[in-house]
Chain A
């Protein structure tokens, strides 16, 4: 079957046809769709795990049991799962195991642009890196066999442009792979010093075998040009940009396996060209390898370690080098300067009422990762920090430990329901156990929002949408050692303010659960849009302080966009003149 599909769907098809039995993942842009597409198949086990470490360890367990298994995550998710990864490199696998990791150069939806290839090198695990959906399918499909043949987990690196770009893929049939027999192998799977010492040499030998494979395999290939003095070593989407600019007019060594890198192949390629370049997004991983071989090469001196590349990047760099580039585009004209359009919280977003309350009371807010990170932008400017998943809860404890009662009474941590499940719980235990008087607000919108509505352990549904065990957040927080736990509706500004002020004043740690489902959820029916009574509106702009995209200011009065308003009613609570209501003025 031939079909146009994004890279992530192609990965899912490759894994499915390659005989996957289990996938366990935590959502994260740009990796989420891999697991969503796999979950459409009812003949394999699929699930959203509470975090990436749990996901990878679940995949490990399935591999140990003899099943081909997968976990998928975004680049920063691999930080969370790094612990099992490094030792999985030692144990190797029984059923083939693939770890999909999606980097986000240019940070379309991320907090940093780390380069996952460093993890492959550091953990001594082979890594594959496709350039488009068709390769993503082929590489993913081959990864289980690679994993089993070399007794290692395999990393499959995607990046945003490949994960979310479509091209035509020819997908074949699924290979049914029976479970392998389970055999107890203590020296392979119990990584205590005595056994681990025996495994490390195995890892080193494996790397040498994989390096031999890298010299001649389906992943790396040389495309020699006639009469070209220029040679370019490249990988991932950079390969596409190189081909876009040069076509077949320069020689290319395309690297599809960035770890381990070949030596002979690179030396031979370098010997055939006069001038050698490495073009790779983010860090100089291939470049450093080439330089370590003693080969002269131009890389990061010409190409940035920051952000994404494009064909424009390549053209401009080579023009700078004095190398002729044909078909330089000619623009129609300059674009006029226009106001920016940053992303923002939706109309009726339940987070807005709580944020307004915090801002109004000049509260310091340690933030976390999710839709609610958008509370950081104008006009709310509600956040003081955002680091990584769970850092709001752990961070407020340190913040208050450093400054004591001075900040305890006017600082909160905010974290979403899914993020709290991911890595907020342990921070909350620390608050209770090591006793700072900290206040944590769980922004419970009953879904994993930013990544596009995935279920999580607090929603009561699993990845298939079937009913599942539901974590009781109130009982959980109490069990973790917090006595003061209360629930508030963020659409009720008075109740929000009461809760925040009382819990900040309390002489012990507390949790406020700000609970209202995301307005984009299908079961949440919007109410009728509100209207501004222009006779009553004094144009004070108080309703505009909470940054609702439905409210604008035209001709001295507030105005509500009926196509956007969902009738949440938070603005009407702000209006001192009773100008905002449900009836036509």
Chain B
């Protein structure tokens, strides 16, 4: 089988590490060969972050380059656009419509571009955009955006929901499991 490549992109601190660990654990449990590439250190401090998840029969490279990505899962609008060139022809972008100003926008050196997602759609990108922040807050924490997005992405896979929940039990601190299960459900239903 062909290797499937996923990129989880966002802003440092939004919880992309947990999302990639959840995916990695789930796909391993499903019997795939899996590679996950994480980001640690300086770029975690509010910078643009990208983690890669690849799975298939045999996966060598842990990273995803231009034109190789099947799914970009973006925690933020701008970040979806930043990595769009990685999407393969026919790939899909799933994006939380939250806007987080980067420093050049805060300092006034640049403006937060308007109509980013509309531009992508106009260029033929398959964009599935939705608000993941509101359901995350509804579940009990703005930090659950990552799991809302995973819930939404789950619909695009043929892996049953119970398997996702089982993987969540493995990687999520039991203290926060209930909030995250709710977040997953809300993402799955949206």
Contact = CB atoms under 8 A, between A and B. Distances in A.
Given A165-B38, A311-B65, A336 B119 contact: yes
A323 B78 CA distance: 37
B91 interface: yes
Interface string B46-81: 111000000000011111011110000000001101
B60 A243 contact: yes
A165 B126 CA distance: 28
B42 A161 contact: no
B127 to A, nearest CB: 10
Given A165-B62, A335-B81, A343 B104 contact: no
Contacts of B21: 166
Of B79, B103, B110, B142, most A-chain CB atoms within 10 Å: B103
Contacts of A330: 67, 88-89
Contact of A544 (B66, B82, B108): B108
A34 to B, nearest CB: 12
A524 to B, nearest CB: 15
Nearest to A378: B107
B104 to A, nearest CB: 5
B65 A109 contact: no
Interface string A485-519: 00000000000000000000000000000000000
B84 A544 contact: no
A324 to B, nearest CB: 18
B15 to A, nearest CB: 13
Contacts of B43: 108-109, 343
Interface stretch (B29-37, B156-164, B174-182): B29-37
A472 interface: no
Of A240, A334, A339, A451, most B-chain CB atoms within 10 Å: A339
B85 A331 contact: yes
A343 B12 contact: yes
B22 to A, nearest CB: 11
B24 interface: yes
20 contacts: A4-B28, A29-B41, A108-B40, A165-B36, A166-B38, A329-B88, A330-B89, A331-B87, A332-B89, A335-B85, A336-B123, A338-B81, A339-B112, A345-B46, A377-B103, A378-B109, A450-B45, A541-B108, A547-B106, A553-B106
Given A4-B36, A338-B81, A450-B42, A161 B63 contact: yes
Interface in A449-470: 450-452
Interface residues of B, number: 66
B39 interface: yes
Contacts of A551: 106
Interface in A236-283: 237, 240-241, 243-244
A336 B103 contact: no
Interface of B: 11-13, 21, 24-25, 28, 33-48, 59-63, 65-68, 78-79, 81-91, 101-113, 116, 119-120, 123-126, 142
Interface residues of A, number: 58
A165 B142 CA distance: 27
A241 B61 contact: yes
Contacts of B110: 339
The main secondary structure of chain A at its interface with chain B is loop
Contacts of A547: 103, 106-107
Of B12, B38, B40, most A-chain CB atoms within 10 Å: B40
Contacts of A338: 78, 81-82, 113, 116
B101 A552 contact: yes
Contacts, number: 204
A218 B158 CA distance: 40
Nearest to A520: B13
Contacts of A168: 28, 33-34
B66 A343 contact: no
Interface of A: 4, 6, 29-30, 32-33, 108-109, 132, 161, 164-168, 237, 240-241, 243-244, 310-312, 329-336, 338-346, 371, 373-374, 377-379, 450-452, 541, 544, 547-549, 551-553, 563
Given A338-B113, A341-B79, 20 more contacts: A4-B25, A32-B40, A109-B42, A132-B62, A166-B36, A166-B38, A167-B59, A244-B60, A310-B61, A311-B63, A331-B89, A332-B87, A333-B123, A336-B84, A338-B78, A339-B113, A340-B104, A342-B47, A541-B108, A547-B107
B81 A339 contact: no
B125 A333 contact: yes
Closest 9 CB pairs of A and B: A109-B41, A329-B67, A343-B47, A29-B41, A165-B62, A341-B102, A339-B110, A312-B65, A331-B67
B45 A344 contact: yes
A312 B64 CA distance: 9
A164 B84 contact: no
Contact of A339 (B47, B62, B67, B104): B104
Given A341-B102, A344-B47, A6 B38 contact: yes
A310 B42 contact: no
B48 A312 contact: no
Nearest to B115: A336
B91 A332 contact: yes
A6 B102 CA distance: 29
Contact of A341 (B35, B47, B65, B111): B47
Contact of B82 (A32, A165, A335, A377): A335
B138 to A, nearest CB: 15
B82 A166 contact: no
Nearest to B124: A333
A308 to B, nearest CB: 8
